[in-house]
């Protein structure tokens, strides 16, 4: 038993760190650290830098342009990226639809889509949730009816993250309304420029335009855009969700957020004394840091167990719950650290191109809105309650 | 990074597991508890014959030379069996103190008979006003001809009634740090009041009224036992986390089984989502406790450092919180039956809660960690 990384893994960590020091643009890292919004251009600039290094499609098999890294290396990479303030990668293309295309797609689909994902030419969004299909995803109603060499798609998707930037969407659609819930669903790739698609913004409680509604009105999609077999889309969906949950503990993100929290607590003063010297607040930080240490150890144990390429099972549900709770707890402390200074809602200071003088401090505009924004962590990717159902069923066999 | 046991470690774990399973059933345990000794001398003899009593002791003193990982493997099984023997306090904590502080002569004289299981040790480091802070001892050691005279009142010495030798903390003068002495509990001026603890093991109070000890009863430098006490408490709490883990695993297993069999409203109560989610939460805390027990075992024997102290404090904090949760919720999910003396679950719940009353509870370790909190300016970003 040994909790240390190998010399090779430590050397890898140094290599990643050196790369980030030289290549991560300071303006982007600054926005990430301060919790400002990122533009499409910010994301794409960083994706292209990673791709040039061959480090963008970390999770792909080597023959498609992946890195061939071990799970431990991937963990180290994620942790270093988060610590350096790199933007969290928008997963829909590179880490969600791409693994599905690689696993279930035709040679033509692979040849067409994968290079466009690598080059950032395509921006993908996810057409899963519907107004009536949230946690109960399989009750989705968006229809796709066959008409010659086309599917005609009608219906509505919602909570489509960054759909306003996307030129492509992968959708779960119902192709056999007579079949049982999971059995009549297919996985379709759709060009967002196709006539009949309308994207409408949903403004979330923090004032941000991050999610959208997407409407489909007689949208004609070529049949060659079907991934896998017709009516077998649920297999793709489940495969993708496994990928979505992996790494959702967000250890690196929590560590970076904790460091930022400590900075804020050191800078803020309460009755003339640094907040970090207040024993009660300090203990609250200590408590969440200790829990984070425990979740990190659990993550490392799972990584070591899946080092040879296995897919983590229901343990990832536990990590999703605990990791999201910790990130939410840190965001709560960050908001509390500001006291009354968390109240002003200064949207211009949150914008990617803000260059002016902050009303109070550079760190003070985002914590309250971040806190509200991060309520999403325990809702998306299978809500934490759904994760508990999974644990009860698959682990505890209740 | 590797979380596998080697062949020797697996064998050790299997040996203890088998022995506990075969000789420490719940009814047998109740018999040991009710017996005058309050434990099983026969079980202790078997531990000794199998070499288990020697595991934490260095090979120089006829021990097995085990690390925190071996201690973890033993303690986890003793925890699962709710064993009453003072293994943790004698073999890990007290022996560790002698190993760290004792002179070569003291070590050679005492440790081999501890390793073999013949001699039991205990540590008297708590008093009415110490509460996990042994350095705050108010017992006195007054120099006299060829030795010292010890006075004061020691509280809740676990295993103290059985111990052949007790390690006693005392202070030589007000401004001085704490010292550690070897005490023969049969010495004149020692009065022992024994009692069982609410979770089963026996303990005692010690009244010391000017007890004479010889000059060579002092272990380590006078007034400077504080750091060794802190270090060895770290080793002991790491092993104790494993004891709690074994007990938590068993309490969780019993509760899960109960949820699958107990019928109410026409179905097993485990079908109800409120209870399923509670179990999922407990399972999550159990997993964190397991992770931190492993971490504690891996760093228990590291050289003293803030990093080691932080990790050990975090381990005890996480394990203590999980222990309380699982103890309370296991009883709740069982309903009335979980509150009866005749069912082992209740005794696991008691053990789990009372373990948090030794070597510091969650609040104590929250304070320890908080005091050692690393701030960004001091932190050199850590590489493993």
- Which member of A4, A279, A305 has the closest CB to residue B384? A4
Q: For position A346, which CATH number holds?
A: 1.20.140.10
Q: Say if residue A308 is in the same domain as residue A212.
A: no
Domain with A55, as residue range(s), is 7-89
A304/B294 Cβ within 8 A: no
Beta strands in chain B (DSSP E): 121-124, 140-144, 147-158, 165-171, 178-183, 190-196, 202-214, 218-219, 263-264, 267-268
The CA distance from A372 to A368, in Å, is: 6
How would you classify the pairing of strands B202-214 and B165-171? unpaired
Q: Record the tokens describing residue B125, joined without a space.
A: 């480091």
- Surface of B (11-70) touching A: CB under 8 A: 69
With an 8 Å Cβ cutoff, is B5 touching chain A? yes
Residues 35-64 of A with CB under 8 A from B: none
| Per-residue confidence (pLDDT) for residue B302, from 0 to 100 | 97
Of the candidates A79, A130, A244, A315, the residue annotated as catalytic is A244
**How many whole angstroms separate alpha carbon B369 and alpha carbon B311?**
8
DSSP A213-243: EEEEEEEEEEGGGEESSTTBHHHHHHHHHHH
Closest CA to A297 of B286, B296, B292, B300: B292
User: What is the CATH classification number for the domain harbouring A213?
Assistant: 2.40.110.10
Instruction: Find the length of chain B.
Output: 384
Q: Under DSSP, is residue B156 helix (H, G, I), strand (E, B) or coil?
A: strand
> Structural domain tally of chain A?
3
**Position of tokens 């480090």?**
A55
Distance, CA of B126 to CA of B233 (rounded, Å): 12
Alpha-helix residue ranges (DSSP H) falling in A268-398: 279-305, 315-337, 347-350, 366-373, 384-390
Contact criterion met (CB below 8 Å) for A302 and A320: no
Q: Average pLDDT of A95-101? A: 95
Q: Residue A325 catalytic?
A: no
Hey, what are A97's tokens? 């639809």
Residue of A nearest to B375 (CA): A262
Say yes or no: A4 contacts chain B, CB-CB below 8 A: yes
Q: What is the DSSP letter of A139?
A: G
H or E element at residue B317: helix B306-334
- Give the pLDDT band (50/70/90) at residue B113: very high
A213 burial type by CB count under 10 A (0-12 exposed, 13-18 middle, 19+ buried)? middle
**What is the number of alpha carbons within 13 Å of residue A164 lying toward its C-beta?**
11
The pLDDT of residue B175: 74
CATH (residue range B7-120): 1.10.540.10
In this prediction, residue A310 carries a pLDDT of 59
Q: CB A290 to CB B277 under 8 A?
A: no
d(CA A10, CA B370): 29
Interface contact A109, partner B, CB < 8 A = no
Residues A226 and A308 in one domain: no
Of B5, B270, B370, the CB nearest to A286: B370
**Residues on chain B touching A262 (C-beta within 8 angstroms):** 373, 375-376
Would you call B314 an interface residue with chain A, using a CB distance cutoff of 8 Å? yes
Averaged pLDDT for residues B250-275: 98
* Chain B contact present for A305, CB below 8 A: yes
Q: Are residues A76 and A144 in the same domain?
A: no
The closest of B308, B150, B127 to B233, measured between CA atoms, is: B308
Q: Which of B277, B318, B376 faces A294 most closely, judged by CB atoms?
A: B318
Structure confidence at residue B71 as a pLDDT band (50, 70, 90): very high
pLDDT (0 to 100) of residue A91: 92
* Interface contact A3-B298, CB threshold 8 A: yes
Asked whether residue A42 is assigned to any structural domain, the reply reads: yes
In DSSP terms, A17 is beta-bridged to none
- Tell me the nearest-neighbour CA distance from A377 into chain B, angstroms: 17
Instruction: Look at residues B298, B178, B196, B328 and name the one whose alpha carbon lies nearest to residue B238.
Output: B298
Boundary (domain end) residue, out of A89, A108, A137: A89
To the nearest whole Å, the CA of B280 is away from the closest chain A CA by 6
Flag whether A107 is in a domain.
no
Closest partner CB to A1 (pick from B2, B259, B384): B2
Q: What percent of chain B has pLDDT over 90?
A: 96
At A280-306, the pLDDT tens digits run 999 999 999 999 999 999 999 988 887
Angle between helices B344-355 and B26-34 (to 10 degrees): 60
Q: Is A293 on the interface with B (CB under 8 A)?
A: yes
3-state secondary structure of B161: coil
- State the pLDDT at residue A302: 87
Which has more pLDDT, B175 or B229?
A: B229
Task: Tell me the pLDDT tens digit for each residue of B296-338.
Answer: 999 999 999 999 999 999 999 999 999 999 999 999 999 999 9
Q: How far apart are CA A213 and CA A198, in angstroms?
A: 8
Mean pLDDT of chain B: 96
| pLDDT of A309 | 60
Cite the residue boundaries of each domain of chain B with CATH code 1.10.540.10.
7-120
Per-residue pLDDT band for A249 (boundaries 50, 70, 90) equals: confident
* Same domain flag for A312 and A194: no
How far is the C-alpha of B66 from the C-alpha of A92, rounded, in Å? Answer: 49
Is residue B247 scored above 80 in pLDDT? Answer: yes
If asked whether residues A222 and A288 sit together in one domain, one would say no
**Residue B276 and residue A398: Cβ atoms within 8 Å?**
yes
Beta bridge partners of A325: none
Out of B283, B318, B367, the one facing A291 most closely (by C-beta) is B318
Residue A264 has pLDDT above 60, yes or no: yes
Which of the four pLDDT bands, split at 50, 70 and 90, describes residue B380? Answer: very low
Taking 90 as the threshold, does the pLDDT of residue B348 lie above it? yes
Closest Cβ–Cβ partner in B2, B271, B376 for A2: B2
Has residue A300 been placed in a domain? Answer: yes
Same domain, A252 and A381: yes
Closest alpha carbon to B304 in B227, B237, B236, B380? B227
Distance from CA of B125 to the nearest CA of A (A): 27
Q: Specify whether A63 is located in the same domain as A167.
A: no
Residue of B71, B258, B287, B373 to mutate, testing the A interface (most A Cβ within 10 Å of its Cβ): B287
B125-158 as b/e: b if 16+ CB within 10 A: bbbeebebbbeebbbbbeeeeebbbbbbebbbbb
Q: What is the pLDDT of residues B8-61, one digit of tens each?
A: 999 999 999 999 999 999 999 999 999 999 999 999 999 999 999 999 999 999
Give A388-392's long-range contacts (Cβ < 8 A, gap of 24+).
Answer: A388/A317, A388/A321, A388/B276, A388/B277, A388/B280, A388/B281, A389/B273, A389/B276, A389/B277, A389/B280, A390/A314, A390/A317, A391/A314, A391/A317, A391/A318, A391/B280, A391/B283, A391/B284, A392/B273, A392/B276, A392/B277, A392/B279, A392/B280
Instruction: Please tell me whether residues A302 and A269 are part of one structural domain.
Output: yes
Burial of B357 (0-12, 13-18, 19+ CB in 10 A): middle
SS3 A201: strand
Tell me whether residues B270 and A398 touch, CB distance under 8 A: yes
List A214's β-bridge partners, or say none. A157, A199
Average pLDDT over residues A324-350: 97
- How far is residue B92's CA from residue A290's CA, in Å, rounded to a whole number? 25
pLDDT at B176 over 50: yes
CATH of domain B226-371: 1.20.140.10
pLDDT tens string A28-37: 999 999 999 9
pLDDT > 90 fraction of chain A, expressed in percent and rounded = 87
pLDDT band at A308 (very low <50, low <70, confident <90, very high): low
The DSSP call for residue B140 is E
Delimit the CATH 1.20.140.10 region(s) of chain B: 226-371
Shared-domain flag, residues A85 and A210: no
Instruction: Work out the mean pLDDT of chain A and round it to a whole number.
Output: 94
On whether both A389 and A251 belong to a single domain, the answer is yes
Whether A216 contacts A153, CB under 8 Å: yes
- DSSP codes, A51-118: HHHT-S-TTS-GGGT-----HHHHHHHHHHHHHHTPPPPPHIIIIIIHHHHHHH--HHHHHHHHHHHH
Question: Are residues A204 and A338 part of one domain?
Answer: no
Q: How confident is the model at residue A238 (pLDDT cuts 50, 70, 90)?
A: confident
DSSP A24: S
Q: Is the pLDDT of residue B382 over 50?
A: no
For B73, the token pair is 């493997």
pLDDT of B162 higher than 80: yes
B139-151 pLDDT per residue, tens: 999 999 999 999 9
**A112 within some domain:** no
Query: Taking CB atoms and an 8 Å limit, are A388 and B277 in contact across chains?
Result: yes
Q: Does the pLDDT of residue A199 top 70, yes or no?
A: yes
CATH architecture of the domain with range B122-219: Beta Barrel (2.40)
Contacts of B254 in chain A (CB under 8 A): none
Q: What residues in A contact B375, CB-CB < 8 Å?
A: 262, 266, 276
- Please indicate whether, in this complex, the C-beta atoms of B317 and A290 are within 8 angstroms of each other: yes
A333 and A373 both lie in a single domain: yes
B4: nearest CA in chain A? A1
Mean predicted confidence (pLDDT) in B97-104: 98
CA distances from B102 to A13, B106, B119, B197, B256 (A): 42, 6, 16, 30, 47
Identify the weakest region by mean pLDDT among A314-328, B48-62, B87-101. Answer: A314-328
The answer to whether position A2 is within a domain reads no
| Residue B270 touches partner A, C-beta closer than 8 Å | yes
The answer to whether the CB of B384 falls within 8 A of the CB of A10 is yes
Q: Is residue A341 part of a domain?
A: yes
Residue A128 clears pLDDT 60, i.e. is over it: yes
Q: Mean of the pLDDT values across residues A212-232?
A: 97
């Amino acid at each position: 038993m040994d909790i240390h990384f190998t010399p090779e893994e430590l050397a890898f960590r140094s290599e990643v760190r050196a790369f980030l020091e030289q290549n991560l643009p300071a303006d982007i890292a600054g926005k990430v650290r301060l919790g400002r919004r990122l533009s499409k251009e910010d994301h794409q600039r960083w994706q292209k830098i990673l791709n040039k290094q061959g480090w963008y499609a970390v999770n792909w098999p080597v023959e498609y342009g992946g890195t061939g890294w071990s799970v431990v290396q991937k963990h180290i990479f994620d942790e270093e990226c988060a610590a350096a303030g790199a933007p969290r990668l928008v997963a829909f293309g590179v880490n969600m639809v791409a693994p599905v295309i690689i696993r279930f797609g035709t040679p033509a689909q692979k040849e067409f889509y994968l290079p466009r994902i690598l080059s950032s030419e395509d921006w993908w969004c996810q057409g899963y949730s519907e107004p009536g299909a949230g946690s109960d995803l399989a009750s989705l109603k968006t229809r796709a009816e066959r008409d010659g060499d086309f599917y005609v798609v009608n219906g509505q998707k919602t909570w489509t993250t960054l759909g306003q930037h996307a030129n492509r969407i992968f959708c779960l659609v119902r192709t056999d309304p007579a079949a049982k819930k999971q059995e009549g669903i297919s996985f379709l790739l759709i060009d967002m420029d196709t006539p009949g698609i309308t994207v409408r913004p949903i403004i979330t409680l923090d004032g941000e335009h991050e999610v959208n509604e997407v409407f489909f009105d007689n949208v004609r999609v070529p049949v060659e855009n079907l991934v896998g077999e017709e009516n077998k889309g649920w297999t793709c969906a489940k495969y993708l969700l496994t990928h979505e949950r992996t790494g959702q503990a967000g250890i690196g993100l929590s560590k970076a957020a904790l460091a930022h929290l400590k900075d804020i607590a050191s800078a803020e003063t309460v009755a003339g004394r640094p907040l970090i010297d207040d024993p009660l607040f300090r203990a609250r930080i200590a408590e969440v840091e200790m829990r984070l240490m425990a979740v990190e150890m659990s993550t490392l144990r799972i990584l070591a167990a899946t080092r040879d390429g296995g897919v983590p099972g229901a343990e990832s549900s536990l990590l999703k719950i605990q990791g999201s709770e910790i990130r939410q707890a840190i965001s709560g402390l960050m908001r509390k650290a500001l006291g009354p200074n968390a109240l002003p809602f200064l949207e211009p200071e949150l914008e990617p191109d803000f260059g002016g003088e902050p009303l109070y401090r550079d760190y003070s505009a985002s914590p309250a809105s971040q806190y509200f924004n991060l309520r999403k962590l325990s809702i998306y990717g299978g809500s934490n309650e759904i994760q508990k159902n999974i644990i009860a069923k698959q682990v505890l066999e209740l | 990074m590797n979380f596998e046991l080697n062949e020797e470690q697996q064998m050790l774990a299997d040996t203890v597991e088998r022995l506990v399973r075969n000789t420490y059933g719940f009814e047998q345990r109740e018999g040991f508890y009710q017996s005058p000794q309050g434990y099983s001398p026969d079980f202790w003899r078997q531990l000794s014959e199998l070499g288990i009593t020697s595991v934490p002791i260095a090979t120089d003193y006829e021990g097995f030379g085990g690390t925190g990982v071996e201690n973890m493997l033993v303690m986890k099984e003793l925890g699962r069996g709710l064993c009453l023997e003072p293994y943790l306090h004698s073999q890990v904590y007290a022996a560790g103190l002698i190993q760290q502080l004792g002179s070569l002569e003291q070590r050679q004289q005492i440790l081999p008979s501890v390793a073999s299981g013949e001699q039991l040790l205990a540590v008297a480091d708590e008093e009415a006003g110490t509460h996990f802070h042994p350095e705050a001892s108010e017992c006195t050691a007054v120099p006299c001809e060829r030795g010292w005279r010890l006075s004061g009142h020691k509280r809740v010495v676990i295993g103290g009634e059985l111990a052949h030798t007790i390690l006693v903390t005392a202070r030589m003068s007000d401004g001085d740090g704490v010292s550690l002495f070897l005490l023969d509990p049969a010495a004149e001026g020692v009065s022992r009041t024994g009692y069982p603890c609410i979770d089963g093991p026996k303990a005692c109070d010690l009244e010391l009224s000017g007890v004479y000890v010889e000059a060579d009863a002092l272990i380590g430098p006078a007034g400077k036992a504080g750091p060794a006490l802190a270090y060895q408490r770290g080793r002991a709490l790491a092993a104790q986390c494993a004891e709690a883990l074994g007990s938590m695993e068993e309490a969780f297993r019993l509760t899960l089984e109960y949820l699958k069999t107990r019928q109410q409203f026409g179905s097993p109560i485990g079908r109800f989502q409120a209870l399923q989610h509670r179990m999922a939460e407990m399972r999550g805390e159990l997993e964190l406790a397991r992770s931190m027990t492993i971490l504690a075992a891996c760093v228990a024997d590291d050289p003293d450092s803030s990093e080691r102290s932080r990790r050990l404090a975090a381990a005890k904090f996480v394990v203590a919180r999980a222990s309380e949760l699982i103890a309370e919720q296991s009883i709740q999910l069982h309903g009335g039956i979980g509150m009866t003396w005749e069912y082992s679950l209740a005794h696991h719940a008691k053990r789990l809660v009372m373990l948090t009353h030794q070597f510091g509870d969650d609040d104590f370790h929250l304070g320890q960690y908080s005091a050692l909190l690393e701030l960004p300016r001091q932190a050199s970003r850590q590489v493993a």
